[in-house]
């Protein structure tokens, strides 16, 4: 059994924010694989099901992003599972829009959801990082992640979420490296036509600050 926790902020006002891409992917998995209806448990919303032969618990903490740790810890304790049974899905500004990375363990990189999870359970859990890139308009980090994906973003986001869901069994049977390769082939990230303007000293400074909000 494995737990897949998508990070985000609860409520309609946040639903389409870049910061909520973790919620979006677990919603996609629940719909595509016929999971149970979402139920309020352990400080979050929980759905149960199977992807191929593996039982999966999908989880969306409802405590806001920067308080994600306690619900995740409570869920792990209830099921008597360890940190390496957990996959956390989250947005990543230091990845170009549409890119993904999978790793186990490591730092939080300034992401407040990960920071709080680290505080409660340590760092030895899996992370699926979904790149949302940086603002083309030099917006502050909080403003960028706490705003909706725009129309252009949907051209890569919707196919990526679909492919991540479709290829999830590849991760289970062939490992995370094969999964990342397959995803990049089926849902390549968009070309960044503005990369020369984004890579400014201002953006480098933003990268150090990261988000201190929700």
Q: Could you say which DSSP state residue 189 is in?
A: P
Task: Judge whether 90 counts as a catalytic residue.
Answer: no
2 closest CA partner among 73, 63, 50 = 50
Question: Which residue in 19, 42, 111, 144 is the catalytic one?
Answer: 19
Task: At 179, list the tokens.
Answer: 């999964």
Report the candidate in 29, 47, 46, 22 with the shortest Cα–Cα distance to residue 167: 29
What's the angle, vertex CA 17, arms to CA 12 and CA 21, rounded to 5? 105
Which residue in this structure is represented by tokens 């806001």?
Answer: 64
> Which residues are CB-neighbours of 193 under 8 A, at least 6 positions away?
none
| Enzyme catalytic residues | 19
């Amino acid at each position: 059994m494995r737990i897949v926790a998508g990070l985000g902020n609860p409520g309609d006002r946040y639903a389409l924010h870049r910061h909520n891409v973790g919620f979006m992917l677990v919603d996609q998995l629940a719909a595509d694989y016929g999971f149970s209806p979402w139920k309020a448990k352990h400080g979050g919303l929980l759905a149960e099901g199977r992807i191929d032969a593996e039982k999966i618990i999908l989880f969306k903490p409802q405590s806001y992003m920067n308080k994600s740790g306690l619900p995740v810890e409570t869920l792990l304790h209830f099921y008597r599972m360890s940190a390496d049974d957990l996959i956390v899905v989250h947005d990543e500004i230091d990845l170009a829009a549409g890119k993904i990375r999978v790793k186990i363990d490591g730092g939080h990189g300034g992401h407040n959801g990960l920071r709080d999870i680290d505080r409660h359970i340590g760092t030895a859990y899996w992370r699926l990082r979904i790149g949302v890139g940086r603002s083309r308009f030099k917006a502050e980090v909080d403003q960028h992640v706490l705003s909706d994906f725009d129309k252009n973003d949907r051209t890569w986001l919707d196919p990526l979420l679909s492919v991540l869901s479709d290829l999830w069994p590849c991760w289970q049977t062939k490992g995370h490296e094969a999964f990342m390769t397959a995803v990049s082939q089926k849902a390549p990230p968009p070309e960044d036509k503005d990369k020369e303007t984004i890579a400014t000293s201002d953006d480098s400074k933003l990268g150090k600050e990261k988000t201190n909000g929700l």
